[in-house]
Amino acid sequence: MKLERSSGLLIGAHQVPSPNVDDRPAGMNPEVLVIHAISLPPGVFGGPGVEQLFCNQLPVAEHPFYREIAGLTVSAHFFVRRDGELVQFAPVNRRAWHAGLSFCEGRARVNDFSIGIELEGDDGHPFESAQYDTLTALTRELMTAYPVITRYRIYGHSDIAPGRKTDPGPHFDWPRYRGALPPPG
């Protein structure tokens, strides 16, 4: 995989453009990564729900939970499926709407300076090896493109929105993930 800096798109990722994206503030570049977990419907893997949500096409009548989140306008830059497939919803040089009300490194408006990566999962299931492989390769590429991003500037959604969010959850293996990344400097 290779990030094309001018377009902000990752060559090799399946592209599914989300409308829930806008421009970063002038002069703002990605500085941190935020790791999330999502499954739609909750606890169900492999379906189209996440793509539908991020593209404002969620079939509200299809599942009771969908009625609860109807009208939600969210996205992420990337989504890593259970089998390791990588989907890109937003160019990394634009702002995806993934962090919500959050604070990171003493700053609010985390979407302004972050890249959001969703893993297909939830708090009740371990993540798959293929997901760690894809996440690690993606992270290494993003660290090359944006050297300010180091293993110490990667956060879980729960870290930047404590009490409001729990993802990526208790089964995410932070030592495994961070240990596969290059040391800073």
Share of the chain above pLDDT 90, in %: 97
Terminal Cα-to-Cα distance of the chain (whole angstroms) = 22
Q: φ and ψ at 126, to 5 degrees?
A: -65, 155
For 123: left if phi > 0, alpha if psi spans -120 to 50, otherwise beta; the answer is alpha
> What residues act catalytically?
118
Range of the domain at 164: 2-36+74-178
Q: For position 184, what pLDDT does the model report?
A: 73
pLDDT digits (tens, 9 = 90+) for 64-102: 999 999 999 999 999 999 999 999 999 999 999 999 999
Is 57 inside a domain boundary? no
Query: Is residue 153 assigned to a domain?
Result: yes
Number of domains the chain is built from: 1
Residue 183 — very low, low, confident or very high, per pLDDT cuts 50/70/90?
confident
- Threshold 0.85, pTM exceeds: yes
Q: What is the CATH number of the domain that holds 89?
A: 3.40.80.10
Q: Is 103 left (phi over 0), alpha (psi -120 to 50) or beta?
A: beta
- pLDDT-derived band of residue 28, with 50, 70 and 90 as boundaries? very high
Q: What is d(CA 49, CA 4) in angstroms, rounded to the nearest whole number? A: 28
Q: What is the DSSP string of 168-179?
A: T-TT--HHHHHH
Asked if 92 contacts 3 with a C-beta cutoff of 8 angstroms, the reply is: yes
pLDDT at res. 131: 98
pLDDT band of 185, cuts 50, 70, 90 = low
Residue 52 near residue 124 (C-beta atoms within 8 A): no
| Confidence category of residue 150, pLDDT binned at 50, 70, 90 | very high
The 3-state DSSP class for residue 143 equals helix
Assigned domain for 130 exists: yes
- Is there a domain that residue 25 lies in? yes
Give the Cα separation of 166 and 151 in Å (integer): 20
- 160 lies in some domain: yes
